Amino acid sequence: MKTIHLQKMRLLLVATLFLAIILGGCINDPNPTGNNWSNVRPMSFTTPLDIVAGYSFPGSGSIKGTETSLVCGNYNGIESVAFVRFTGLPSVGTFHIPEAYQDSTYLNLVLTRKFSESRNPVEVMIYKLNQSWAADSTNLIQDSNLSLITPQSYTITDSISSAGTQIKIPIPVAALEQWTSEADSLGLTLAIKTGENSYIEFKSLESGSGPKLHFLYRTTGENPTEKKYEQYCNKDSYRIDEETAPIITNQWILSNIPPSRIYLYFPMNFSLFQDTEGNPLNEIQLKRTTINHAELILYVKENPYYGTSTQYRLRADRVNDSLDINTAVAVLDEQVASGIITQSYIRGDSLVVNVTPLIQAYTSGDKMNYGIVIRSMQELINYGKIELWHFNDSSTPAEKQPKLRVTYTPPFL
């Protein structure tokens, strides 16, 4: 029985090898699979865009209270104020902070960025909030309820590392010994501001390295005890003065504070899609064409924020409603279908935005081309801003005009 079984196994192996040799001889190509067993390779083109309309318009971002960084500044005429709240402090009247402990009495922040327009050191001031506060009502905080508790501004002179740099802002002893207010006896809320024409960004509670209050104290009573308070804040957020970006017909500006977005419309040139013989694809072939990758190439005119260590996050959304392209208007969120987020660095003089699903929808005929909205995914999160060369600006060099780069695979049959 074993002999018969071995003979059958040998015959099966010989038959399998013979079939493989026959198939190999029938295929004269180093890559037999190609595309769906065809030999169709992806093809690419890069073309200048024939843009018909394009402008900047105001966005509609919002602060959610779950941001991983806090923004604080007074820049471009817009003030942002950060708020941090601490609880679990010792009861007023039950403790004392000796003057000798002042060096150990501070607010610890992990800075991720600082900027001063005049390149002078950034000045930081700490205030005490004298009203109740919920994170979702930060915009309702009135400056009249803020009391300055730092007699001198704290000066930030050190450079900031990309991983974050710790700073310790001294908090006066008296402010902590009398930390309660008439409106809030359950916790201490501090407000953080900067001087004019400057801003800072620092890690929030959500990042795991948020603001921390530290001080040593001595209990009062018959048996004084040395103790330490060291806690992260249990709530933080920030307020940004209301400011609406303008509609600008001759500039392309992507801005986070205030939010500014870009609308552009260009008709598709379907004659650029060709088969392997160089023939333009017909309507049926276009419908079956696979868009492997498509991206807009936009050229940077001004970039005061992003660089080789700070990534931009942009998204190209498909406008799904007919617009009068001769009239610049703010495109509402409900008028667009969300696209793919592009996250990268600006290296050199250009950036790219992924538009693969949009170009796929246009070539297949599944969706009408009503234009594209490009928006930052960091709106109200930082002071990032990019101005791009506008297609209709007479000063725009020819080589800085927007381009479309597409890699596609035409159908086999």
Kindly state the percentage of the chain with pLDDT values over 90: 74
Looking at mean pLDDT, say which of 60-69, 303-312, 372-381 comes out highest: 372-381
What is the chain's mean pLDDT, rounded? Answer: 89
pTM of the shown model: 0.84
pLDDT, one tens digit per residue, over 113-168 is 999 887 789 999 999 999 888 766 788 888 899 999 998 999 998 788 878 999 99
Residue with the bigger pLDDT between 120 and 381: it is 381
- Residue 15 φ then ψ, to 5°: -65, -40
- The Cβ of residue 48 has, within 10 Å, a number of other Cβ atoms equal to 14
Output the CATH code of domain 43-59+245-409.
2.60.120
90 vs 94: CA distance, rounded Å: 7
Comparing C-alpha atoms, which of 203, 194, 160 is closest to residue 70? 203
pLDDT, one tens digit per residue, over 160-183 is 887 899 999 999 999 999 999 888
349 vs 218: CA distance, rounded Å: 59
pLDDT band for position 89 (cuts 50, 70, 90): very high
Domain-by-domain residue ranges, the chain? 43-59+245-409, 69-240
Residue 173 identity: V
Is 106:241 a contact under the CB 8 Å cutoff? no
Q: Indicate whether 52 pLDDT > 50.
A: yes
Comparing C-alpha atoms, which of 216, 201, 191, 188 is closest to residue 156? 201
